[in-house]
Amino acid sequence: MGSNRRALEISLERIRADEALNAWSYLAEGEARLMAAESDARLESGLSRSPIEGHLVALKGNIAVKGWPFEGGLLNRRGLVAMQDAPFVRRLRQAGAVLLGQTSMDVGALGAEGRSIDGPIRNPRRRTHSVGGSSGGSAAALAAGHVELAVGSDTVGSVRIPASFCGISSLKPSSNRIELDGVLPIHSDFDHVGPMTSRAALLQPLLSTLSGLPHSVVHSAKSVDKILSGRPMGFISDAAALGTTPKVLHYYHLGLDRLRSLGARLVAVELAPLDPARTRRAVFSLCQRAMAEQHRDGLTKTPELYSPEVRVMLEYGASLGLDKLQDFRARIWRFACAVQGVMRPLGALVLPTTPDQAFNFNRPTPTDLADLTVIATAAGLPAASVPLPTGDDLPAGLQIITAQGEDLLACELATRFESGA
């Protein structure tokens, strides 16, 4: 048996043992075995297609994979099957990756709790706690060692929040870096396809595959060194004012110390005056409006297929008038301009990914989960999340924001940070 087929069988054993995590909504075992065997044959012949040849990949449940369920965590889509692959899924196949299955997600990708229609998605680091969301199943599969690569979607923080809670890496790319065809939408202005990986070093090859970049296109070491030792890197001096807890603040300062040891010249910036929480509410309100329009008929004909919480969100979205929507758009635009102004002299901006660590499912869901991830969302900038040094069974994340189009730089900075070299 080849190495990829052995790795697949080991993964399936782990998944069966970890069924209580609720990380997976669908496993394509037969298809994956065939793909693994084909990959082993290519490797034995010296015909590897890419750096991710043979790697097992998990895909979020709102992504179209031909012949797989295409439900997006919604009861009203139960039984629907994708008729064709999303374009980036075809690229995964062409790269020789092994598509293992589909991961659980928050209902309609509308939340960050880590609760699917089949129940809570449990954090492998501490099973009483949330994985975050909405790409929580993908993060759980990575943190549990089921796979090394996963694909999620990020609208207001949905690959970065789970990365922070589960101790894995992820990237919200620049707008339009990866096309959204074949992904169930929330709002076209904010939706992104996001690579998620067990190690930061895998972000760049997965991003290159998903976006169709040649794998030879990487940031030169000189350009990264220039950021680390030349242009200043911003850090937020008012993290506590933005709701960051003392514990995460302590880990954040440890992360800043690591960056300094790598040669980074850190300069303080303040973001609290920009009121990210207010912007997060504006972005989410526009998302609720867009989803209300998409589900107008379903809410009318089959309201019982929507949970009370989802109905409340959609009804609020439907209630928003034109003036209110214009106010929200203007607020987001002003915020984006301000963030881009802060970024202009900087090589990168680093801040905690989430204000706190994973929360216990027995406690109320925090309202500020996306207060720090919305910064890059609203400004249209790429943002990587990489684990901070914590020494804790509950991880925390460092968010690295770079200029528009500098996605590969964000990946490389995350890799340097993780390795400490």
CA-CA distance, 323 to 352, in Å (whole number)?
Answer: 34
- Let me know: does 211 contact 175? Beta carbons within 8 Å: no
Residue 246 phi, psi dihedral angles, 5° rounding? -55, -35
- H or E stretch covering 399: strand 397-401
The pLDDT assigned to 268 comes to 98
Catalytic residues: 60, 134, 158
- Let me know: does 123 contact 130? Beta carbons within 8 Å: yes
Beta bridge partners of 384: 171, 400
Pick from 69, 74, 61, 66: nearest CA to 294: 74
Neighbours of 75 (CB within 10 A): 16
Chain-centre distance of CA 347, in angstroms?
Answer: 22
The pLDDT assigned to 232 comes to 94
CA-CA distance, 8 to 11, in Å (whole number)?
Answer: 5
Cβ within 8 Å of residue 214, ≥6 positions away: 208
The pLDDT assigned to 111 comes to 85
Residue with tokens 């994956």: 32
pTM for the model stands at 0.96
pLDDT tens string, the chain, 421 residues long: the values are 789 999 999 999 999 999 999 999 999 999 999 999 999 999 999 999 999 999 999 999 999 999 999 999 999 999 999 999 999 999 999 999 999 999 999 999 988 999 999 999 999 999 999 999 999 999 999 999 999 999 999 999 999 999 999 999 999 999 889 999 999 999 999 999 999 999 999 999 999 999 998 876 555 455 677 666 678 999 999 999 999 999 999 999 999 999 999 999 999 999 999 999 999 999 999 999 999 999 999 888 999 998 888 899 999 999 999 999 999 999 999 999 999 999 999 999 999 999 999 999 999 999 999 999 999 999 999 999 999 999 889 999 999 999 999 999 999 999 999 998 7
Give me the domains of the chain, ranges plus CATH numbers: 3-211 (3.90.1300.10), 222-276+330-419 (3.90.1300.10)
CA–CA distances in Å: residue 302 to residues 185, 290, 369: 20, 19, 31
- Let me know: does 108 contact 72? Beta carbons within 8 Å: yes
Q: Which two tokens stand for residue 402?
A: 């770079």
Q: Is 322 exposed, middle or buried (0-12, 13-18, 19+ CB in 10 A)?
A: exposed
What are the E-state strand segments in 32-157? Answer: 56-60, 98-103, 115-116, 119-120, 122-123, 126-130, 149-154
CA-CA distance, 386 to 257, in Å (whole number)?
Answer: 15
The pLDDT assigned to 214 comes to 83
